[in-house]
Amino acid sequence: MSLDDRNYSDKRDFIRMQVQTQAILEHAGQQYPTRCLDLSSSGIQLEGDVNLAVGDRVRVLIPSEHSALKGLEAEAEVVRVGELPSGGQTLGLVILDMSRVVKA
């Protein structure tokens, strides 16, 4: 694959915003503190001390740091899992529903 082909295949339909903020991931009745690495209108990338698998359904809460803005709450599905040297994971999530917004 040429560099031009790879650059084209890496392009996405939605712009990713580099966020670097705290988030809470909920799965199977448990809450896990995570870090949101990036966010787009269709997905979220998190990292944290979790042990999830592709296909797991989760809820993600990203509180707002500004009192005038509401935080984000999304239902999502794990579509990519990467292992971290620390034993945690990076998670690629596709957003299924983002209709609810939480107050800061």
Other C-beta atoms lying within 10 Å of the C-beta of residue 100: 12
pLDDT digits (tens, 9 = 90+) for 4-56: 444 444 445 555 556 678 999 999 999 999 999 998 888 999 999 999 999 99
Q: What is the mean pLDDT of residues 51-76?
A: 89
Domain extents in the chain: 15-102
Residue 64: pLDDT over 70: yes
CB-based burial, 75-90: b 16+ in 10 Å, e otherwise: bbebeebeeeeeebbb
Q: Which of 49, 51, 29, 45 shows the shortest CA–CA distance to 95?
A: 45
Q: Does the 15-102 domain belong in CATH 2.40.10.220?
A: yes
pLDDT at 101: 55
pLDDT at 65: 77
